[in-house]
A and B are shown apart, each in its own frame.
Chain A
Amino acid sequence: MYPGPLAAGFCRRYYRAKMSREDAGAGKIAGARFRAPLLWLLLCSLPLPASTGTGGKSAPASLRQVADGVYVRPGQTGLLFEADNVANTGVVIGSRCVALIDTGGSLAEGEALDAAVRRLSDLPVCFVINTHVHPDHILGNKAFRRDGVRFIGHEKLPRALAVSGDTWLRRTGESTDPSHIVFPEQTVSGQVELDLGNRILLARAHSSAHTDHDLSVLDLQTGTLFAGDLVFLEHLPVLAGSINGWLDELDQLTSKRLERVVPGHGPAAAEWPAAAEPTVDYLRDLREKARTWIAAGGDLGAAQGGIRPSRPKRWQLIEQYHKRNVAAAFAELEWEE
């Protein structure tokens, strides 16, 4: 077996590890350490002969069936710029074609998803629905840029991609080529129906919550909600939109009767509305503590150390994301009347 793909993987990890060392947000470097950076740099600069040709396609991702015609590639809880397959990705099969909800965090993850879908069904992929801009959900898009595939996102997704797409590409080490970013061809404000043949998906645009452009997808046939990052389990929720808005959106969503939810992070599927409780609880707790801190005149720097989550055992990656969340909550709540 030609070692090209292996070397490519190492090089990618090398650059990621290197970047994360320079990265403010990353706590410690997970995975391999590289003791001779110069050597790696040299090796990684060499062209990889033909390995990305026919053998370049990734092995199929493993999909888990969560309902009739509904599959999930489960993500693993890990850090954005270090782990692979961080986010949950959904597949829904109609009688005419297949829809994907998010595509993974790299071209390779998108290709692996594509291969897995081909094994599952002869039907073509007709929709790629992006829940939001974050790289672990969207950078696999490029694997599906072909005739017959329509990319769908929130009406504010193009702006978010324009503003931060380039940063994400560089920080993931995925590519320096901006054409790697795939913009939606159809944007959603309010709600749209997507017909897969005897199967309707409802894509719904939310107000500012996890981000300012979250899109959720509901499979009417099985009552499965793909919540994107409106719902986190295990992986600490990450606040990049509005804490008040997020709680409002979850308040509305939890009043709906659904069979199950596919969270953006955590298990492939979970019960609804019970699965929303940890996210709601974390956000409420953070909001209450931040408000108290602001009212007492405390500053942000001290609050980042002083505000801790009440139920830490529920969550992974607290050290990596909680302080950022405190800052985001602070920046929003200090403007409250």
Chain B
Amino acid sequence: MSTRTARAIERAVRVASLSLMLMVPVFITGVAQATTAEEDMVWTGGLRNAYFEDRKILADDLITLEAPQRAENAAIVPISIKAGIPQTEQRYIRTIWLFVDKNPGPLVGTFRFTPESGRADLGLRLRVDAYSPVRAIAETNDGELHMSRQFVKASGGCSAPPSSDADAARKNFGKMKFLLRNEGGAENATAVEQRTLAQLMIRHPNRSGLQMDQVTHLYAPPDFVEQVKVRFEGKEIFSAETSFAISENPSFRFYFAPQYEGELTAEVTDTEGRHFSETYRVRPGTDGAAASD
């Protein structure tokens, strides 16, 4: 994390605690309002300004964030973001920021889309460290910001031990897989309608740096995927800069709209500087899966 971001977060937290005191009258006026205001303390108290300054953020249905109200497993909280508009050259969502306000680092990731994405939907799994709002902010190509938010009850997701089979995890480190599913409608469907759902999966422990080893009594050092780039025939369709808040074995679901046969390529970089890549031949209108060896 850069010192600039660190300072911004520090400032955010400081402002947030101040605003808690200022919010006392709100508690008296209405319980329901007070709850939301309390929940949004970190956001309104500085996080918002740290990232978006005084830009206007619309709370409408351009995007809809879906998350469980209470997560079954705080280290794997499934999140899906649905776009209310198709991606066209004229109007499209170019960036989605995802935040968990009360995580040790609130920004989960920055996700970029293009008109070639077809639809700027996004599905992923993340770690939630404390009861917190999870919020997505979308920026359209004309610079408008739109927000969708949901409060999620989960805690301890950042320090939770890795799940299940440790040997399988080690053996498969860096393995990648695409799952593709054609969702094209009628025969005369337009290119945008003729879209394909892609799920990119990466075998990676995505260690948060907050998980403790009982023998050494040290925190296992952070080691997580920080960059993902997906291209179709060299053209970028989806990319992401991500933090430790992404769950073990990162999985990203997104759309693209292949109009001709071509190569789908994913490139992944982690915090240790490792590179992983995977290429898959795609024919429009077909399903498929591909895995690296």
Contacts and interface: CB of A to CB of B under 8 A. Distances in A.
B253 interface: yes
B284 interface: no
A22 B132 CA distance: 12
A328 B68 contact: no
Nearest to A328: B164
B235 to A, nearest CB: 23
A304 B164 contact: no
A208 B165 contact: yes
B164 A299 contact: no
Nearest to A239: B164
Contacts of A324: 72-73
A240 interface: yes
Interface residues of A, number: 41
Given A297-B197, A335-B201, A163 B72 contact: no
Contacts, number: 116
Interface residues of B, number: 53
B168 A242 contact: yes
Contact of A23 (B79, B125, B156, B199): B156
A299 B199 CA distance: 9
B80 interface: yes
Given A178-B217, A212-B165, A301 B72 contact: no
A327 B66 CA distance: 17
B142 interface: no
Given A24-B153, A297-B179, A331-B249, A163 B162 contact: yes
B163 interface: yes
Given A22-B155, A25-B72, A331-B76, A212 B123 contact: no
A145 interface: no
Contacts of B201: 334-335
A277 B25 CA distance: 60
Nearest to B212: A166
Contacts of A294: 179
Contact of A24 (B72, B177, B291): B72
Interface of A: 22-25, 156, 158-167, 171, 178, 181, 208, 211-212, 240-242, 245, 294, 296-297, 299-301, 304, 323-324, 327-328, 331-332, 334-335, 337
Given A208-B167, A294-B179, 8 more contacts: A24-B157, A163-B214, A181-B214, A299-B78, A299-B80, A301-B123, A304-B72, A328-B163
14 contacts: A25-B72, A160-B166, A167-B159, A208-B165, A242-B164, A245-B165, A301-B67, A301-B68, A324-B73, A328-B163, A331-B163, A331-B164, A334-B179, A337-B289
